[in-house]
């Protein structure tokens, strides 16, 4: 079963990449030996008895769903889909006034890499940031409510794939572009690629009190593709590192043309330096954004050669090294920040590319780690004992090795084709060394079949011992590109939305529910409570609203059930409208009543034994 999967995954590769199927036949034998006793012990590790909790939140990208997926680890149970970049009819996200405005008409997003806000290089659990590769946006999710707090569009970008990552005190949320594009997304022929197309990094700031983004500045780069990136820590805290591909400037058939060079580059940027230049007014305003060209400022940008088409680059927990994963080369390369700083200090350059000084590979590189037969390293995670973990896309395995020595300690198969992996607290200065989840791209025959296209798959490994142990596989909707695993004690969700007497449009008692009419606008100030709607306390039928065809109707609804998990929904039958109000929340639904007739209103979120009775009517009088 497994071999077939590997072979077919490999069959799509360009010539020149070794085929590893034979090697992995060994893993199959080992796997079959896995005994019933092993399975019992594995089962116990992931079982969370009633009344107990998972130890970790796994906050995973929902990929081209545009949403955030919340899992519990180690049970791998999916707890919640949090809508971020895409409307969510189940909760009314994108339908109520606030979220409709925030989404700005977008119906699709492609959420790649979540990053939890950090303080001193450690997850602080307050916010989660997300990138939209599809439509060039960045979002912040408030982890006290698990609601999206803000979304900002990023001009000049061609898919901010290489983000998001945060600097160690969340000074910046950095988002490097994936595809080179003319600034402003303007039209330019592909023949003018080198001149007119640009790579851009967006440097966003987030105000935690106001819960608002601000695009501080952008960095203009060569029209290479930027794949992944990380922020420095401690000694390297002022720097960001990014991988590149297509340094060939190919404009077609990238499968072959962007895989010609033996080496692409890691780009190092000193964000602190550029911040200073921007403060001094050293920028151009392009498409309303402060744009800096780092080549104009000595010490702001460097490149280091790296094995071809790397995917991830990750800074070690101590901030001293960064590790590039080769993707199309079978190795991980360990670089030293100390050595890089030394070369920079001495102006010891081996080359210059597109105006960027290139640091000498051999002087900055500490070690190449090349486990035999391990193919397609994508990304590096860390534990608390100085070890690194690499998922291998092509050879479908996880490799554990010692950062200090390059010694390979363990290798375990993953089913199939792992993309990123995520370790418990694995991106922080202080990883936990407990669990690692490989986010596999292809499930094949791993689960009950759902037709020609399967779910993605996630493999849970216990990494607390010397040897890794594969514990379980969990299916997942497309597509968790990346995840962060955060200890449960770090996230402090609210139990309720506080009762705020001064909140705009809120009504806090049944008696105060009322309707205001202004011309052809109808404002309903209503309440939802178990088990009724009250729209107009003074009416004989307080749960019915009559309007005229063509009226603009606003339902301002407050959920006055101040009791955790008692959410009310509000659906209008035949009107294609639904939203929700969580306990203590006020939300507004606005629409034009263009369809005359009789329309039941009902609570769509099961709330009580009389939920079925929680209903009313919208009556729309036809135009004469």
Window 171 to 200, contacts with a second copy (CB under 8 A): 178-179, 181-182, 184-190, 197
Per-residue x/- track, 18-37, a second copy (CB under 8 A): -------------x--x---
Encoding tokens for residue 155?
Answer: 């001009």
Distance CA 198, CA 157 (A): 9
Rounded to whole angstroms, the Cα distance separating 580 from 591 reads: 15
Question: Of residues 429, 442, 506, 593, which one binds a second copy by CB under 8 A?
Answer: 442
| Contact residue for a second copy among 3, 544, 552, 591 (CB under 8 A) | 544
Among 255, 466, 467, 521, binds a second copy (CB under 8 A): 255
Region from 44-52, 291-299, 381-389, 402-410 binding a second copy, contact rule CB under 8 A: 44-52
Q: Which of 258, 247, 237, 259 is nearest to 358 (CA)?
A: 247
Site residues for a second copy, 586-605, by CB under 8 A, read 596-600, 602, 604-605
Q: How far is the CB of 396 from a second copy (least distance, A)?
A: 11
Return the HEC string of 55-78. Answer: CEEEEEECECCCCEEEEEECCCCE
How many residues lie near a second copy (CB under 8 A)? 178
Identify residues 352-411 at the interface with a second copy (CB under 8 A).
376, 393-394
If the CB atoms of residues 8 and 282 are measured against a second copy, the closer one turns out to be 8
578 part of the interface to a second copy, by CB under 8 A: yes
Does residue number 276 form part of the binding site for a second copy (CB under 8 A)?
no
The minimum distance between CB 88 and a second copy, in angstroms, equals 8
Cis omega (within 30 of 0) on the bond before 164?
yes
Per CB under 8 A, does 623 bind a second copy? no
Q: Hey, CA dihedral for 240, 241, 245, 246, is it positive or negative?
A: positive
Q: By C-beta, is 278 or 289 nearer to a second copy?
A: 289
**In the complex with a second copy, which residue's Cβ is closer, 81 or 350?**
81
Ranges within 77-96 binding a second copy (CB under 8 A): 77-82, 86-91, 95
Q: Between 419 and 438, how does the x/- string for binding to a second copy read (CB under 8 A)? A: x-------------------
Phi, psi for residue 296 in degrees, rounded to 5: -75, -10
> Does residue 42 bind a second copy (CB under 8 A)?
yes
d(CA 479, CA 431) in angstroms, rounded, equals 25
Burial category of 609 from C-beta neighbours within 10 Å (exposed 0-12, middle 13-18, buried 19 and up): exposed
As separate numbers, helices (DSSP H) first and strands (DSSP E) second, the chain gives 9, 43
**Given 427, 528, 569, 589, the residue binding a second copy (CB under 8 A):** 569
Which region, judged by CB under 8 A, interacts with a second copy, from 107-115, 233-241, 333-341, 364-372? Answer: 107-115
d(CA 567, CA 145): 13
Say how many CA atoms lie within 13 Å of 192 toward its Cβ: 10
Q: Which of 295, 510 has the CB closer to a second copy?
A: 510
* Position among 3, 8, 464, 537 found at the interface with a second copy (CB under 8 A): 8
Both tokens of 316, joined, read 């070690």
Site residues for a second copy, 602-621, by CB under 8 A, read 602, 604-617, 619-621
Does residue number 248 form part of the binding site for a second copy (CB under 8 A)?
A: no
Rounded CA separation 176/164 (Å): 8
Spatial distance between the Cα atoms of 159 and 162, rounded to a whole number of angstroms:
8
Please report how close the Cβ of residue 167 comes to a second copy at its closest, in angstroms: 25
Q: How far is the CB of 450 from a second copy (least distance, A)?
A: 4
Under rule CB under 8 A, residue 17 binds a second copy: yes
483 closest CA partner among 158, 185, 56:
56
DSSP-assigned beta bridge partners for residue 231: 240
Tell me the window of 121-129, 203-211, 380-388, 525-533 that interacts with a second copy (CB under 8 A). 525-533
Whole-angstrom Cα distance, residue 148 to residue 128?
A: 9
User: What is d(CA 25, CA 408) in angstroms, rounded to the nearest whole number?
Assistant: 20
Q: Can you tell me which of 333, 428, 567, 587 binds a second copy, judged by CB under 8 A?
A: 567
Integer Cα distance of 281 and 372 in angstroms? 52
566 binds a second copy (CB under 8 A): yes
If residue 578 lies in a helix (H) or strand (E), which one and from where to where?
strand 577-581
d(CA 359, CA 352): 9
Instruction: Kindly state the smallest distance separating residue 126's Cβ from a second copy, in Å.
Output: 13
Considering only 24, 27, 62, 128, the residue that binds a second copy (CB under 8 A) is 62
Q: How far is the CB of 359 from a second copy (least distance, A)?
A: 25
In the window 444-503, what residues touch a second copy (CB under 8 A)? 444-456, 470, 472-479, 481, 488, 491, 493-497
Which of 150, 210, 200, 193 lies closest to 177, judged by CA?
200
Residue of the chain from 72, 237, 317, 426 that contacts a second copy (CB under 8 A): 72
| Contact set for a second copy, span 296-335 (CB under 8 A) | 309, 311, 327-328
392 versus 463: smaller Cβ distance to a second copy = 392
CB of 417 vs a second copy, minimal distance in Å: 8
What letter does residue 346 receive in the DSSP assignment? Answer: H
**Burial environment of residue 188 by CB neighbours within 10 A (0 to 12, 13 to 18, 19 or more):** middle
Of 419 and 431, the one with the shorter C-beta distance to a second copy is 419
Residues in contact with a second copy, shown as a per-residue x/- string from 119 to 148 under the rule CB under 8 A: --------------xxxx-------xxxx-
* CA-angle at 564, arms to 71 and 475, nearest 5°: 15
């Amino acid at each position: 079963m497994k071999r077939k999967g590997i072979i077919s995954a490999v069959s799509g590769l360009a010539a020149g990449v070794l085929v590893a199927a034979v090697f992995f036949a060994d893993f199959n034998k080992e796997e079959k030996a896995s005994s019933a006793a092993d399975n019992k012990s594995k089962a116990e590790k992931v079982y969370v008895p009633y009344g107990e909790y998972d130890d970790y939140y796994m906050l995973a990208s929902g990929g081209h769903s545009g949403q955030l997926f919340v899992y519990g680890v180690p049970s791998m149970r999916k707890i919640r889909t949090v809508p971020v970049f895409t409307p969510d009819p189940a909760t009314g996200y994108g339908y109520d006034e606030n979220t409709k405005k925030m989404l700005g008409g977008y119906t699709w997003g492609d959420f790649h890499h979540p990053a939890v806000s950090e303080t001193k290089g450690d997850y602080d659990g307050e916010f989660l940031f997300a990138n939209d590769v599809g439509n060039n946006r960045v979002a912040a999710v408030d982890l006290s409510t698990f609601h999206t707090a803000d979304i900002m569009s990023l001009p000049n970008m061609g898919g901010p794939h290489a983000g998001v990552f945060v600097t160690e005190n969340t000074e910046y949320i950095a988002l490097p572009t994936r595809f080179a594009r003319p600034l402003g997304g303007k039209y330019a022929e592909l023949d003018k690629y080198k001149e007119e197309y640009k790579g851009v990094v967006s440097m966003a700031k987030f105000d935690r009190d106001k819960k608002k983004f601000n695009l501080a500045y952008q960095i203009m780069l060569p029209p290479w593709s930027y794949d992944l990136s990380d922020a420095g820590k401690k000694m390297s805290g002022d720097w960001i590192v990014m991988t590149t591909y297509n340094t060939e400037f190919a404009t077609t058939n990238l499968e072959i043309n962007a895989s010609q060079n033996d080496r692409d580059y890691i780009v190092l940027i000193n964000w602190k330096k550029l911040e200073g230049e921007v403060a001094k007014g050293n920028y151009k305003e392009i498409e309303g954004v402060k744009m800096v060209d780092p080549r104009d400022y000595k010490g702001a940008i460097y490149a280091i050669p790296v094995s071809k088409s790397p995917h991830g680059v990750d800074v070690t927990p101590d901030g001293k090294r960064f590790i590039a994963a080769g993707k199309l080369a079978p190795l991980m390369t360990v670089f030293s920040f100390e050595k890089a700083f030394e070369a920079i200090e001495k102006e010891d350059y081996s080359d210059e590319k597109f105006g960027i000084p290139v640091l000498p590979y051999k002087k900055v590189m500490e070690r190449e780690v090349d486990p035999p037969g391990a193919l397609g390293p994508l990304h590096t995670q860390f534990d608390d004992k100085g070890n690194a973990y690499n998922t291998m896309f092509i050879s479908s395995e996880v490799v554990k090795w010692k950062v200090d020595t390059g010694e390979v300690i363990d290798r375990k198969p993953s089913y199939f084709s792992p993309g990123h992996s995520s370790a418990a607290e694995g991106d922080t200065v202080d990883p936990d060394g407990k669990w690692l989840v490989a986010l596999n791209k292809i499930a094949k025959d791993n689960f009950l079949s759902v037709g020609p296209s399967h779910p993605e798959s996630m493999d849970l490994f216990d990494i607390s011992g010397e040897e890794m142990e594969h514990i379980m596989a969990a299916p997942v909707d497309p597509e968790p590109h990346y995840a962060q695993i955060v200890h449960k004690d770090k996230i402090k969700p609210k139990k309720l939305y506080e009762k705020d007497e001064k909140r705009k449009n809120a009504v806090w008692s049944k008696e105060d529910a009322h309707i205001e009419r202004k011309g052809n606008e109808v404002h309903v100030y209503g309440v939802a409570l178990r088990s009724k709607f009250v729209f107009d306390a003074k009416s004989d039928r307080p749960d019915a609203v009559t309007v005229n065809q063509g009226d603009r109707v606003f339902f301002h609804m407050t959920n006055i059930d101040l009791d955790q998990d008692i959410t009310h929904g509000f659906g209008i039958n035949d009107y294609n409208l639904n939203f929700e109000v969580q306990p203590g929340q006020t939300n507004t639904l606005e629409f034009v009543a263009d369809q005359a007739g009789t329309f039941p209103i009902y609570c769509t979120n099961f709330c009580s034994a009389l939920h079925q009775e929680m209903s009313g009517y919208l009556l729309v009088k036809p135009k004469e």
